[in-house]
Amino acid sequence: MTSGPPRTGRRRVVVAGALGAGVLAAVVSGLLNAAADGGGAGAAPARASGPTAVAPTTAGGDAPDGARAPADAAASPGGETADPVAPPDAAAAGAPPVAPLELPAVGPREAARTAGAAVRLAAVERVDGVATSPGEIAGPAVRCTVEVTNEGDTPVDLALVAVNASTAGVPLVALVEPGGRPLAGSLAPGASGTGVFLFRLADGTAADVTLVVDVLPGEPAAVFAGVLG
């Protein structure tokens, strides 16, 4: 038997097939690599948005003055920190002045005038106070007859009048007897009304007493100060 040309022909076919397969694999690999490189190149510009500026810090963790300058400069157009704005003054804004709670004190024999009313002490005398209710203590007292005159254009409700007394800032206890009588009724314009008020004196001797008569709501009260009785 002889080995002839047919065996050589088969070897050539196998070699050629192997070379073709290798070339095809190389082409496919190159295409895949090119696709991968193309995708990476397209994504790169999206990531490269520019470096992020990071201010250097000192050992204590604070940025140096140069790094903080742009933020400070933004506080005002000239690069200087704006001064805080002070709240507007009430008087400058046109707000009405607040009325005092009391008028300046006058002597026991003088008259005090508030808006729409005149007040005076028609009589001041020392009496022996009588205890008629729980908490009251009998003893020397001062009895004041308070006269109110309506100088306004509308009636005054005398039931709203309040009378209080104190010595050196300490309130005096009010009594009813002898002869106490509150102000009552409606006081017509031009008319006058009187009430009698008693206050216990602690030591029974003459002392400087401050008497406050509040006639009209929202208006300053009349104040009398001096030795009563």
The identity of residue 61, as a single letter, is G
In a domain, 24, yes or no: no
Q: What percent of the chain has pLDDT over 90?
A: 39
Across the range 36-62, mean pLDDT stands at 48
Average per-residue pLDDT in the chain?
Answer: 73
In a domain, 185, yes or no: yes
Long-range contacts of 169-176 (CB under 8 A, 24+ apart): 172/199, 172/200, 172/201, 172/202, 172/209, 173/135, 173/136, 173/137, 173/199, 173/200, 174/198, 174/199, 174/200, 175/129, 175/130, 175/131, 175/132, 175/136, 175/141, 175/199, 175/200, 176/132, 176/133, 176/136
Tokens found for residue 208: 């400087």
User: What SS3 class is residue 132?
Assistant: coil
In a domain, 53, yes or no: no
CATH code of residue 180 = 2.60.40.1240
65 vs 106 pLDDT, higher one: 106
Across the range 19-46, mean pLDDT stands at 52
Across the range 145-168, mean pLDDT stands at 94
In a domain, 197, yes or no: yes
- Distance of CA 19 to CAs 23, 29, 31, 112, 168, Å? 6, 15, 19, 129, 124
Tokens found for residue 203: 């030591």
Q: List all residues 6 or more positions away from 165 whose beta carbon is below 8 Å from its beta carbon.
A: 142, 144, 171, 172, 174, 197, 199, 209, 210, 211, 212
In a domain, 218, yes or no: yes
Across the range 32-52, mean pLDDT stands at 49
- Enclosing domain of residue 139: 111-227
Q: How many CA atoms lie within 13 A of 128 on its CB side?
A: 0
- pLDDT value of residue 33: 58
> Which range is least confidently modeled, 4-13, 83-92, 106-115, 119-128?
4-13
Count structural domains, the chain. Answer: 1
55 vs 130 pLDDT, higher one: 130
- pLDDT value of residue 179: 94
In a domain, 118, yes or no: yes
Distance between CA atoms of residues 198 and 140, nearest Å? 10
In a domain, 140, yes or no: yes
- pLDDT value of residue 178: 94
Q: What is the pLDDT of residues 158-189, one digit of tens each?
A: 999 999 999 988 899 999 999 999 999 999 99
Across the range 2-31, mean pLDDT stands at 50
In a domain, 25, yes or no: no
Out of 80-84, 91-95, 200-204, give the one with best mean pLDDT. Answer: 200-204
Across the range 147-153, mean pLDDT stands at 94
pLDDT at 221 over 70: yes
User: What SS3 class is residue 45?
Assistant: helix
pLDDT at 7 over 70: no
